[in-house]
Amino acid sequence: MMGKPSEPSITQINVEELAQRLSSGDPIQLVDVREPQEVAIAYIDGFVNLPLSEFPDWADQVNTRLDPHAETLVLCHHGIRSAQMCQWLVVQGFTNVKNIMGGIDAYSTLVDSSIPQY
Q: Is 86 a catalytic site residue?
A: no
The residue type at 67: D
R_g (Cα) of the chain, nearest Å? 13
Cβ neighbours for 117, distance < 8 A, ≥ 6 positions apart: 42, 105, 108, 109
* Alpha helices per DSSP H over the chain: 15-24, 36-41, 55-58, 62-65, 80-91, 103-110
Angle at 85 between CA 18 and CA 53, to 5 degrees: 115
Query: Which is catalytic among the residues 76, 86, 104, 111?
Result: 76
Q: Mind telling me the catalytic residues?
A: 76
